[in-house]
């Protein structure tokens, strides 16, 4: 493709023409008419499970697989085989496209037949499952069958899952959501306020997939009591061919009122999912299973016949403990049979996990009677079962203790219908208190707030520390068992709840496909220098993984995030010091973790990054209200800081998990950001330092080319790649902003431009300016530009970005010689060494390649002379024993990690 004439680039009006010129890109309508690159080598891909054991008892797994440019057309079918060459049923669909319209990413779903070993994916016709997923949308319900179980899903009312049957046996029914709201909250011993019960109210139901291997149904609504509806929910139910179970992904978005200093508001007392379970068997054939530590289980019957004064017989006792149907009581020792009516029936059980370090189990015969303790432990699996010899329901909540306070309730198991509630927020915990944590301490004006920023690093502003619009996603599993499962089967179900099995493509294939800008390579210890860096990367990840445990970075709203800065005097992370506390994606630890996984394939890194993606995409970002589409800067509470910015809502941080798993919820988050440029109308990002009067003009909004634009364009690019509902608008925005940044007198160095919401263009400035921040490129700009440059043929944009890369780490004299003035005082040179490396490879600049390693080794950040070790700490120095590396800070960690990974991939052969 010929370069765009320079005169076109100097006129913003020419963007429409440029968009037409680039209309072939990323799966556009006229892709077939465009020149097609020669098909890449598309060898079969060997998929493996992240952890040993394969699918186990989980209903199924879905994996995203990338392909080199030109490898496969958009309608390519795929087949799957196991290690013995046996065909495995698979359902495939596209989730991303290359510029020539060929497949970039495909998703592949497998059910229980996938087994535990490696699988080979290749072009071909997929095998049909013996038992297919079918969906019937007629009538008042949506009926989904896996060939083993059938679920009827409500289209209206309060019941999400009307029934779950296995064969002709109804295993569960009346699946709904429950919410307990407490209008007031009291401290101390003043008693507990009354609370109100809300139930789910469905507003919309949509079938997203209909089989044959995977079916997905989405249910949206709010919690309702009387005339009030609030706390929106979005539920997805996943069904796989041949499975006896299904998965639920449950999201709530907080839209209540909680004001600092006030004891009245919307305080969540309990939040859960509830099912009714028919009980058909005799009470001695009804079984309770509660998961404890590891795969430990409390295994009891509603009416126990073990441990009695009289013995019914060893075989009978063993059968009850195993969960088998007992022989007719007439065959037992009659001293027991004739006295069965005197044995208590235990109908109610509760397991509550109110911290990350302790759970308790208790039981009672029925409502109105006293509880007795039934044991306890440290960290419960979040698993339970209630049922009998004729069938029962297993259920589990993922990350149960990590996202405490959680609880499992079984009620009325001695009656015809038991009730199961999986509490995502335990009603026995303190009510959910999301009020802002302090009163501002005299920071009433912008100058005073800036002074507060100068001491606590927190950007405070009244009414900005609000949780209104934040969200949280939880994952649950349910099994419809034809009888009480054997202990070994229960253990498999427990393990599936604790670690949902995940298929994965190997790092070698991810590297070969050149996705995500081609900025990573497999670990290489072939030289001493490379081995040292690999050791350092391993050290940093292990340290943070250990710190999560030592510092107890757990809890419903907190799990998945890490802390920003350390206080070596207190031997403690600065969890209570303004902007130094929760990290909220500051300087892109999300990217460091995902790149660390992409190159290594390590399961522990994947799970760490997965938890962070679930957290940062939900909790640190607003999904409702005037700030929807913006995220919150780092702070003591995830929503505390008044800086609401694109850089935290950045879609770049979600892309990796989505494309590796095809997760629909993360897909929702990315799609929701497509129109987030509208947020610039509601919040002035420089309001505290602006001196002139300001009224936002939708046709001339000041938008930065670094943190602002990278957050916007990542959403547009992703929508375009996915061919989402707004992909044509997104495509136009990508191209028009790229061209009008390139057309600025100083390109990226210009720093900001006046953005037109209606045209999606930056006005081209009349005069050159120099406005460079050390933050501009450290929120995914390099990673994003590497993808854009690979996808879009726009030489002037490339030149503009390469110039930015060349001159950020240049000397002030070099900067002044190029731009007429230097860039001022900058920071984060080590992290920016990856820009040197990228531009060096793209331009063939050997001097730049040398500088990349020089800045990596010899500038700010972590040096080879750092300790690269931890020291043990314990009481009375710290709250709990553990380790510390008081020289480690998350800003430096994220930048070192990304620079190391990208420099090795790009310039590993040019290390000094």
Name the residue among 237, 245, 232 with its Cα closest to residue 210. 237
Site of tokens 């938008």: 703
In this model, does residue 209 exceed pLDDT 90? yes
| Assigned token pair, 113 | 């037949």
Which band of pLDDT confidence, cut at 50, 70 and 90, is reported for residue 11? very low
- Specify the pLDDT at position 817: 98
Which band of pLDDT confidence, cut at 50, 70 and 90, is reported for residue 189? low
pLDDT in tens, 22-50: 233 333 333 333 333 344 457 999 999 99
Residue 203 burial by Cβ neighbours in a 10 Å radius (0-12, 13-18, 19+): middle
Which band of pLDDT confidence, cut at 50, 70 and 90, is reported for residue 20? very low
pLDDT in tens, 295-311: 999 999 999 999 999 99
Residue 830: what are its φ and ψ, rounded to 5°? -60, -45
In this model, does residue 415 exceed pLDDT 70? yes
Q: Rounded distance, CA 436 to CA 467, Å? A: 9
CB 278 within 8 A of CB 417: yes
Name the residue among 693, 676, 777, 796 with its Cα closest to residue 735. 796
In three-state form (DSSP H/G/I as H, E/B as E, the rest C), the secondary structure along 290-322 is: EECCCCCEEEEECCCCCCCCCCCCHHHHHHHHH
| Assigned token pair, 560 | 């998945």
Tell me the mean pLDDT in the region 548-563: 98
pLDDT > 90: percent of the chain? 91
DSSP class of 162: E
CB 885 within 8 A of CB 867: yes
DSSP class per residue in 717-751 = HHHHHHT-TTHHHHHHHHHHHHHHHHTSTTGGGG-
pLDDT in tens, 518-535: 999 999 999 999 999 999
Say which residues have a Cβ less than 8 Å from residue 81's Cβ, sequence separation at least 6: 87, 88, 119, 120, 122
Say which residues have a Cβ less than 8 Å from residue 721's Cβ, sequence separation at least 6: 26, 27, 96, 97, 104, 105
- Specify the pLDDT at position 16: 35
pLDDT in tens, 269-296: 999 999 999 999 999 999 999 999 999 9
CB 583 within 8 A of CB 563: yes
| Assigned token pair, 395 | 């259920």
Number of CB atoms found within 10 A of residue 577's CB: 19
| Assigned token pair, 352 | 């509550």
Q: What's this model's pTM, rounded to 2 decimal places?
A: 0.95
- Specify the pLDDT at position 690: 86
- Specify the pLDDT at position 99: 83
Q: Rounded distance, CA 89 to CA 220, Å? A: 30
Q: Rounded distance, CA 648 to CA 617, Å? A: 9
- Specify the pLDDT at position 188: 67
- Specify the pLDDT at position 33: 32
Q: Rounded distance, CA 775 to CA 781, Å? A: 10
- Specify the pLDDT at position 41: 58
CB 599 within 8 A of CB 523: yes
- Specify the pLDDT at position 186: 78
In this model, does residue 341 exceed pLDDT 70? yes
DSSP class of 780: T
Which band of pLDDT confidence, cut at 50, 70 and 90, is reported for residue 191? low
Any idea what the Cα angle at residue 322 is, between residues 317 and 327, rounded to 5°?
A: 55
Q: Rounded distance, CA 680 to CA 285, Å? A: 63
Site of tokens 């600092």: 260
């Amino acid at each position: 493709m010929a370069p765009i004439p320079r005169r076109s680039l100097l006129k913003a009006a020419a963007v429409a023409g440029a968009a037409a010129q680039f209309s072939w890109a990323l799966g556009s309508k006229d892709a077939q008419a465009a020149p097609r690159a020669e098909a890449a080598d598309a060898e079969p891909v060997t998929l493996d499970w992240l952890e040993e054991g394969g699918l186990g008892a989980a209903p199924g797994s879905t994996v995203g697989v990338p392909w080199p440019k030109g490898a496969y057309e958009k309608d390519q079918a795929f087949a799957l085989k196991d290690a013995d060459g046996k065909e495995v049923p698979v359902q495939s669909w596209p989730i991303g496209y290359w510029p020539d319209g060929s497949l970039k990413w495909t998703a592949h779903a497998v059910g229980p037949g996938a087994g535990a070993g490696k699988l080979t994916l290749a072009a071909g016709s997929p095998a049909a499952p013996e038992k297919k997923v079918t969906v019937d949308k007629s009538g008042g319900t949506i009926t989904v069958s896996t060939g083993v179980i059938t679920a009827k899903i409500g289209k209206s009312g309060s019941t999400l899952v009307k029934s779950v049957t296995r064969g002709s046996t109804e295993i569960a029914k009346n699946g709904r959501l429950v919410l307990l709201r407490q209008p007031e909250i009291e401290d101390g011993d003043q008693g507990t306020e009354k609370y109100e019960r809300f139930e789910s109210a469905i507003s919309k139901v949509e079938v997203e997939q209909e089989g044959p291997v995977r079916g997905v149904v989405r249910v949206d609504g709010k919690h309702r009591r009387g005339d009030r509806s609030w706390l929106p929910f979005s539920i997805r139910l996943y069904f796989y061919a041949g499975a006896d179970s299904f998965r639920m992904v449950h999201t709530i978005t907080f839209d209540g009122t909680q004001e600092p200093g006030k004891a009245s508001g919307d305080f969540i007392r309990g939040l859960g999912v509830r099912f009714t379970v028919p009980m058909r068997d005799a009470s001695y054939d009804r079984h309770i299973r509660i998961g404890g530590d590891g795969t430990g289980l409390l295994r009891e019957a509603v009416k126990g016949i073990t441990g009695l004064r009289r013995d019914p017989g060893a075989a009978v006792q063993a059968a009850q403990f195993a969960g088998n149907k007992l022989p007719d009581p007439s065959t037992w020792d009659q001293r027991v049979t004739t006295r069965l009516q005197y044995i208590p029936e235990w109908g109610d059980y509760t397991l509550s996990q109110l911290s990350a370090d302790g759970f308790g189990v208790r039981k009672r015969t029925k409502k109105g009677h006293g509880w007795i303790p039934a044991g306890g432990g440290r960290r419960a699996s979040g698993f339970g079962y209630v049922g009998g010899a004729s069938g029962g329901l297993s259920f589990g909540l993922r990350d149960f203790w990590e996202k405490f306070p959680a609880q499992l309730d079984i009620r009325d198991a001695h009656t015809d219908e038991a009730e199961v509630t999986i509490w995502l927020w335990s009603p026995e915990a303190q009510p959910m208190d999301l009020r802002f944590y302090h009163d501002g301490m005299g920071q009433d004006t912008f100058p005073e707030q800036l002074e507060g920023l100068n001491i606590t690093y927190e950007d405070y502003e009244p009414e900005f520390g609000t949780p209104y619009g934040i969200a949280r996603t939880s994952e649950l599993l349910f099994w419809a068992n034809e009888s009480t499962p054997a202990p070994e089967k229960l253990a498999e179900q427990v393990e599936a709840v604790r670690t949902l099995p995940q298929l994965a493509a190997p790092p070698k294939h991810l590297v070969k496909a050149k996705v995500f800008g081609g900025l990573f390579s497999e670990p290489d210890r072939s030289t001493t220098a490379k081995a040292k860096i690999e050791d350092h990367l391993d050290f940093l990840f292990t340290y943070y993984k250990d710190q999560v445990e030592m510092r107890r970075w757990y809890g419903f709203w907190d799990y998945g995030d890490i802390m920003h800065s350390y206080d070596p005097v207190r031997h403690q992370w600065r969890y209570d010091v303004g902007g130094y506390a929760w990290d909220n994606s500051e300087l892109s630890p999300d990217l460091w973790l995902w790149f660390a996984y992409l190159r290594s394939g390590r399961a522990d890194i994947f799970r760490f990054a997965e938890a962070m993606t679930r957290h940062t995409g939900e909790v640190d970002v607003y999904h409702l209200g005037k700030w929807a589409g913006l995220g919150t800067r780092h702070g003591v509470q995830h929503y505390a800081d008044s800086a609401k910015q694109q850089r935290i809502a950045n879609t770049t941080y979600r892309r990796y998990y989505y494309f590796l798993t095809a997760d629909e919820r993360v897909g929702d988050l990315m799609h929701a950001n497509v129109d987030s440029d509208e947020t610039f109308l509601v919040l002035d990002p420089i309001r505290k330092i602006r001196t002139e009067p300001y009224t936002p003009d939708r046709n001339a909004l000041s938008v930065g080319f670094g943190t602002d634009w990278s957050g916007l364009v990542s959403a547009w690019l992703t929508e375009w790649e996915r061919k989402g509902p707004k992909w044509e608008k997104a495509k136009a925005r990508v191209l028009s902003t790229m061209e009008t940044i390139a057309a600025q007198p100083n390109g990226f160095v210009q720093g900001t431009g006046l953005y037109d919401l209606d045209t999606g263009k930056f006005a081209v400035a009349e005069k050159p300016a120099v406005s460079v921040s050390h933050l501009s490129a450290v929120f995914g700009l390099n990673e994003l530009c590497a993808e854009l440059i690979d996808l879009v043929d726009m030489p002037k944009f490339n030149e503009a970005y390469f110039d930015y890369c060349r001159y950020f780490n240049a000397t002030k004299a070099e900067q002044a010689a190029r731009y007429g003035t230097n860039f001022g005082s900058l920071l984060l040179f080590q992290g920016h060494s990856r820009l040197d490396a990228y531009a060096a490879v793209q331009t063939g600049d050997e001097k730049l390649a040398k500088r990349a390693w020089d800045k990596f080794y010899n500038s700010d950040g972590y040096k080879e002379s750092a300790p690269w070790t931890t020291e043990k700490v314990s009481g009375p120095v710290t709250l709990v024993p553990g380790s510390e590396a008081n020289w480690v800070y998350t800003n430096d960690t994220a930048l070192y990690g990304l620079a190391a990974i990208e420099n090795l991939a790009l310039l590993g052969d040019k290390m000094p």
